[in-house]
């Protein structure tokens, strides 16, 4: 049932893509920027949906389960302040420059502002690899999630899994309808079909004998997983997003983002209401947890989050300023004043999405066993306190949060490749609009294939690496800020800043590999604090030691006000 | 007004470091929200309000005006030709 609801939701997205495609004008301006015609509400929804990933629902609940309510201050309230300031100071200004000079991507702005192809050639691989990492988190997350919500006990598969089991325990009772799938003979336990780890408990209960429990553990590790295994789930989500981005370009992306953002916000609130009701109401749930001395530590921050970590986390939300996919969304606005709603409402949207999830994570800590996988907390609470329909709806909400970032990332990678590499270096302005769109689509397919193949392999290291993509974007932020607000900033300073970031990022990542438990911190602080500070210092020093930009260039980007 | 908005943002950043609630689980605001969480929910609301003050009094209106002026100039040119 849950999967049927998710499939219906995905079908709705396909329909949206086809509909937006019918309105698509055959030019690259419409494909990449929706003809710069997006209004205030859609801009807010696109920007909010793009900045919130699956983390907004699953991660916030899970992190609270692991680190307590301080997670809201660490990630959400800092983001509310910093993101709103970035939209005000950077977003509207970028929009005006984009409109005036016809920029389609972030890199085209940097090329023009610093008059440097070398800077763009340095930034391109860096930015693309950060986006791919970000994308991978979404693709793998979606695959894992779909697998998790389709936990059929036996789904159709010809595979037979066998593990050693000397003989059937005396107390073993195999249900009648399982007898044609499960057999014990010749010292082996054999099971045919796929088994989902979530059904481990059902098998465990069949006997109390230790040898049976050991055999079931081995069986679950060896057997193929749920009805929709991770590779299939990843492929379904990639194809759906690819479809509507292909057919509708930025217009479909903006529409889909608006719908998906509303879906994940509403579904989060519904999950909160239903679960809270089952717990006897929010007051009863909190009082019960407070009375539990062994578990109420999650209601404060002491011992769970460091004070300097809490302070220096403010550097992470700076990454939003350098997200190339968000940059492109900013360029779609019809007018600068459309940003006003986003500046005011973005922190409130964060509040509406995060507070219910943080409360659920907090209450879950008093209910679920220690050692529960934090990423499974929301799913387990939903499974425990709601029916399959709600599980399906929440599933659609989680996928909505994932896909609302993925679509923008697909489109932005396509724009960067087409406009900043092919068109600029090989086409020299001679490539037709239709060819540009075709090239963009081809590049997206290639990137999706790469992500899919990486997603099939070692996934945990990808998640570990994902943290560094935010650090990398945040480290590049000073270069954008200087470009917009510092007349004296020049290409030498910007190039030095990018190179410094690349070195520090690689060093930081290699050092973090030595940390096996908890977050990698330097002197109790987030590494991003050091990276942003050093990158800024290098950029400023090199800029001051090298010639200033030409007067012509300064006049172009900082015209004297009459 | 611009200075006031900058001061308000700095004030928010300072209030964000609520080390005084670090160990507090109580009081439970509205009977269910630990004070540390309620405080930060308040910070998010305040960020929205500061945003409102900023867009009302410090918005760079010239960004849209420039656009309108350019559009106007283009129309005039077209009409002249």
Quick one: pLDDT band at residue B37, thresholds 50, 70, 90? Answer: very high
d(CA A92, CA A473): 19
- List chain A residues with CB under 8 Å of B62: 561
Over 80: is that where the pLDDT of A108 sits?
Answer: yes
CA distance A494 to chain B (A): 26
Quick one: pLDDT band at residue A24, thresholds 50, 70, 90? Answer: low
pLDDT of residue A150: 65
A112 assigned to some structural domain:
yes
- Same domain assignment for residues A208 and A132: no
Domain end residue (candidates: A222, A239, A263): A222
Pick from B13, B23, B30: CB nearest A300: B23
- Same domain assignment for residues A142 and A159: no
Query: Cβ of A166 under 8 Å from any chain B Cβ?
Result: no
A562 assigned to some structural domain:
no
**Nearest CA among A28, A87, A3, A37 for reference residue A345:** A87
Q: Among A29-33, A386-390, B24-28, where is mean pLDDT lowest? A: A29-33
d(CA B48, CA B46): 5
- Same domain assignment for residues A132 and A166: no
pLDDT of residue A551: 93
Quick one: pLDDT band at residue A224, thresholds 50, 70, 90? Answer: low
DSSP A306-317: -HHHHHHGGGGG
Quick one: pLDDT band at residue A356, thresholds 50, 70, 90? Answer: very high
pLDDT tens for each residue of A130-147: 888 888 888 887 777 777
- Same domain assignment for residues A171 and A47: no
**Nearest CA among A538, A434, A503, A460 for reference residue A140:** A460
Mean pLDDT of chain B: 85
Query: Cβ of A81 under 8 Å from any chain B Cβ?
Result: yes
> Which residue is it, tokens 């609470």?
A381
- List chain B residues with CB under 8 Å of A78: 16
Domain end residue (candidates: A176, A191, A222): A222
pLDDT of residue A231: 82
Over 60: is that where the pLDDT of A154 sits?
Answer: no
B23, A70: Cβ pair inside 8 Å? no
For A310, the closest chain B residue by CA position comes to B17
- List chain A residues with CB under 8 Å of B30: 282-283
Range of the domain at A169: 155-222
Quick one: pLDDT band at residue A261, thresholds 50, 70, 90? Answer: confident
A38 assigned to some structural domain:
yes
pTM for this entry: 0.83
Pick from B22, B44, B59: CB nearest A340: B59
pLDDT of residue A536: 97
In A179-333, where does DSSP find H-type helix? 200-204, 210-222, 230-278, 282-291, 307-312, 319-322, 324-331
- Same domain assignment for residues A430 and A444: yes
pLDDT of residue B76: 60
End-to-end Cα spacing for chain A: 65
B47, A347: Cβ pair inside 8 Å? yes
- Same domain assignment for residues A194 and A144: no
ipTM computed for the complex: 0.87
**Nearest CA among A143, A175, A123, A207 for reference residue A495:** A123
Quick one: pLDDT band at residue A11, thresholds 50, 70, 90? Answer: confident
Q: Among A151-160, A289-298, A380-389, A485-494, where is mean pLDDT lowest? A: A151-160
Q: Among A123-132, A173-182, A525-534, where is mean pLDDT lowest? A: A173-182
Mean pLDDT of chain A: 84
- Same domain assignment for residues A515 and A469: yes
A73, B36: Cβ pair inside 8 Å? yes
- Same domain assignment for residues A234 and A320: yes
pLDDT of residue A8: 87
Over 70: is that where the pLDDT of A562 sits?
Answer: no
A95, B45: Cβ pair inside 8 Å? no
B19, A307: Cβ pair inside 8 Å? yes
d(CA A130, CA A470): 8
Over 60: is that where the pLDDT of A153 sits?
Answer: no
**Residue A145's CATH number:** 1.20.1730.10
Q: Among A399-408, A484-493, B13-22, B61-70, where is mean pLDDT lowest? A: B61-70
- Same domain assignment for residues A344 and A392: yes
- Same domain assignment for residues A199 and A63: no
Task: Look at chain A and report how many structural domains it folds into.
Answer: 2
CA distance B78 to chain A (A): 19
pLDDT of residue A460: 60
Average pLDDT over residues B30-37: 94
Q: Among A297-306, A368-377, A426-435, B4-13, where is mean pLDDT lowest? A: A426-435
Domain end residue (candidates: A167, A195, A222): A222
Average pLDDT over residues A306-315: 92
Enumerate chain B positions whose Cβ falls within 8 A of a Cβ in A. Answer: 9, 12-13, 16-19, 21-26, 28, 30-34, 36-37, 39-41, 43-45, 47-48, 50-52, 54-55, 59-64, 66-67, 70
- Same domain assignment for residues A186 and A241: no
- Same domain assignment for residues A168 and A106: no
pLDDT of residue B66: 65
pLDDT of residue A60: 85
pLDDT of residue A313: 92
Over 60: is that where the pLDDT of A524 sits?
Answer: yes
pLDDT of residue B80: 59
Average pLDDT over residues A223-232: 71
């Amino acid at each position: 049932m849950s999967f049927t609801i998710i499939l219906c939701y995905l079908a709705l997205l396909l329909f949206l893509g086809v509909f937006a495609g019918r309105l698509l004008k055959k030019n690259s301006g419409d494909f990449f920027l929706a003809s710069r015609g997006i209004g205030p509400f859609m801009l807010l929804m696109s920007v909010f949906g793009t900045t919130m990933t699956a983390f907004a629902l699953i991660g916030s609940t899970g992190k609270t389960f692991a680190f307590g309510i301080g997670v809201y201050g660490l990630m959400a309230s800092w983001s509310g302040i910093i993101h709103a300031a970035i939209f005000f100071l950077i977003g509207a200004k970028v929009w005006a420059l984009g409109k005036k000079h016809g920029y389609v991507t972030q890199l085209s702005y940097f090329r023009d502002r610093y008059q440097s192809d070398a800077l763009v050639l340095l930034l391109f691989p860096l930015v693309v690899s950060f986006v791919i990492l970000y994308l991978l988190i979404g693709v793998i997350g979606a695959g894992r999630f779909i697998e998790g919500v389709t936990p059929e006990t036996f789904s159709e598969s010809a595979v037979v899994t066998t593990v050693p089991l000397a003989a059937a325990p005396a107390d073993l009772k195999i249900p009648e309808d399982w007898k044609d799938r499960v057999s014990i003979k010749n010292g082996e336990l054999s099971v045919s079909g796929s088994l989902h780890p979530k059904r481990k408990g059902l098998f465990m209960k069949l006997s109390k004998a230790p040898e049976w429990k050991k055999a079931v553990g081995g069986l679950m590790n060896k057997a193929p997983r749920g009805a929709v295994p991770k590779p299939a789930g990843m492929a379904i989500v990639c194809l759906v997003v690819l479809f509507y981005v292909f057919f509708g370009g930025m217009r479909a992306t903006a529409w889909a983002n608006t719908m998906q953002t509303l879906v994940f916000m509403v579904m989060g609130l519904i999950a909160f209401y239903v679960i809270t009701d089952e717990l006897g109401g929010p007051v009863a749930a909190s009082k019960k947890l407070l009375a539990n001395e062994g578990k109420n530590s999650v209601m404060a921050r002491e011992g769970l989050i460091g004070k300097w970590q809490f302070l220096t986390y403010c550097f992470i939300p700076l990454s939003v300023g350098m997200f190339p996919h968000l940059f492109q969304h900013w360029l779609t606005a019809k007018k600068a004043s459309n940003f006003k709603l986003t500046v005011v409402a973005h922190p409130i949207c964060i509040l509406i999405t995060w507070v219910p999830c943080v409360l659920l994570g907090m209450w879950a800590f008093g209910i679920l066993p220690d050692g529960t996988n934090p990423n499974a907390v929301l799913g387990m609470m939903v499974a425990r306190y709601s029916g399959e329909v709600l599980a399906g709806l929440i599933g659609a909400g989680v996928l909505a949060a994932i896909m609302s970032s993925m679509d923008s990332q697909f489109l932005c990678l396509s724009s960067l490749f087409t406009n900043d590499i092919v068109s600029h270096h090989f086409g020299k302005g001679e490539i037709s609009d239709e060819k540009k769109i075709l090239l963009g689509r081809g590049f997206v397919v290639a990137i999706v294939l790469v992500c899919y193949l990486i997603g099939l392999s070692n996934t945990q290291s990808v998640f570990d690496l994902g943290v560094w993509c935010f650090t990398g974007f945040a480290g590049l932020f000073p270069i954008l800020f200087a470009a917009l607000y510092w007349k004296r900033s020049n290409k030498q300073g910007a190039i030095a800043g990018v190179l410094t970031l690349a070195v520090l990022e690689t060093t930081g990542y290699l050092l973090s590999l030595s940390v096996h438990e908890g977050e990698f911190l330097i002197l109790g602080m987030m590494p991003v604090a050091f990276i942003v500070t050093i990158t800024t210092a290098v950029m400023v020093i090199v800029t001051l030691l090298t010639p200033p930009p030409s007067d012509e260039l300064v006049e172009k980007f900082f015209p004297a006000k009459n | 007004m611009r200075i006031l908005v900058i001061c308000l943002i700095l004030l928010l950043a300072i209030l964000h470091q609520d080390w005084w609630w670090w160990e507090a689980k109580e009081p439970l605001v509205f009977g269910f929200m630990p004070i540390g969480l309620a405080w930060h929910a308040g910070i998010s609301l305040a960020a929205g309000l500061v945003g409102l003050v900023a867009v009302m009094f410090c918005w760079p209106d010239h960004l849209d005006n420039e656009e309108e002026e350019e559009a106007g100039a283009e129309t005039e040119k077209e009409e002249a030709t």
